[in-house]
Amino acid sequence: MGKNNKTVKLHQAMKLLQIQAYLVLALVFISTSCLQAQKTPAQPTQLNLKEVIDKASKVEGLTGLILSKQGKIIGEKYFHTQTRQKLNEVRSVTKSIMSLLIGIAIDQQLIKSVDDPIGKYLGDMKGYAKRRHGKITVRHLLTMSSGIDWDESSVTLHRQWRKEPITALLERPIAHKPGTKFYYSTAASYLLSVILTKASGMPTLAFAQRNFFRPLGIQQVQWEKLGGYYHGGSRLRLKPRDMLRIGELMLNDGAYQGKQIIPRKWVQEATRLQISINKSTSYGYLWWSENSVPDKNFGAVGYGGQFIVVFPTLKLIIVTTAFSRGIGVAKAAKQEHDIGQLIGKTIYPFLKQ
State pLDDT tens for residues 209-256: 999 999 999 999 999 999 999 999 999 999 999 999 999 999 999 999
| Any domain includes 270 | no
Q: Same structural domain for residues 150 and 204?
A: yes
Q: What pLDDT digit, counting tens, does each position of 314-329 carry?
A: 999 999 999 998 888 8
**Cα torsion for 190, 191, 192, 198, to the nearest 10°?**
120
- Name, in order, each residue with C-beta under 8 angstroms of 203's C-beta and a sequence gap of 6 or more: 197, 229, 230
Identify the pLDDT of residue 327: 85
Q: Same structural domain for residues 191 and 109?
A: yes
Residue 124 has pLDDT above 70, yes or no: no
Residue 43 has pLDDT above 50, yes or no: no
Identify the pLDDT of residue 20: 47
| Any domain includes 295 | yes
| Any domain includes 329 | yes
Q: What pLDDT digit, counting tens, does each position of 82-101 carry?
A: 999 999 999 999 999 999 99
| Any domain includes 259 | no
- Name, in order, each residue with C-beta under 8 angstroms of 58's C-beta and a sequence gap of 6 or more: none
Residue 16 has pLDDT above 80, yes or no: no
Q: Same structural domain for residues 78 and 180?
A: no
Report the C-alpha gap between 342 and 336 in whole angstroms.
10
Task: Give the distance from CA 321 to its chain's centroid.
Answer: 13
Identify the pLDDT of residue 93: 98
Q: What is the mean pLDDT of the chain?
A: 87
Q: Same structural domain for residues 93 and 224?
A: yes
Residue 64 has pLDDT above 90, yes or no: yes
Residues linked to residue 322 through DSSP beta bridges, in sequence order: 62
Q: Same structural domain for residues 163 and 300?
A: no
Given 238, 263, 288, the domain boundary residue is 238
| Any domain includes 266 | no
- Measure Cα distances from 143 to 7, 48, 321 in Å: 30, 39, 25
Q: Same structural domain for residues 165 and 184?
A: yes
Q: Same structural domain for residues 92 and 193?
A: yes
Q: Write the CATH number for 101.
A: 3.40.710.10
Confidence grade of residue 294 (pLDDT, cut at 50, 70, 90):
low
Q: Same structural domain for residues 118 and 146?
A: yes
Q: Same structural domain for residues 65 and 99?
A: no
Given 238, 261, 292, the domain boundary residue is 238
Domain that holds residue 4: 1-84+275-353
The tally of domains found in the chain comes to 2
| Any domain includes 252 | no
Identify the pLDDT of residue 154: 87
| Any domain includes 72 | yes
Q: Same structural domain for residues 212 and 198?
A: yes
| Any domain includes 248 | no
Residues linked to residue 310 through DSSP beta bridges, in sequence order: 298, 317
Q: Same structural domain for residues 105 and 233?
A: yes
Identify the pLDDT of residue 326: 86
* Eight-class DSSP state of 173: P
- Nearest CA to 294 out of 83, 13, 29 is that of 29
Rg of the chain taking only CA atoms, in angstroms: 20
Q: Same structural domain for residues 146 and 179?
A: yes
Report the C-alpha gap between 27 and 341 in whole angstroms.
6
- Name, in order, each residue with C-beta under 8 angstroms of 209's C-beta and a sequence gap of 6 or more: 221
SS3 assignment, position 73: strand
Report the C-alpha gap between 343 and 66 in whole angstroms.
11
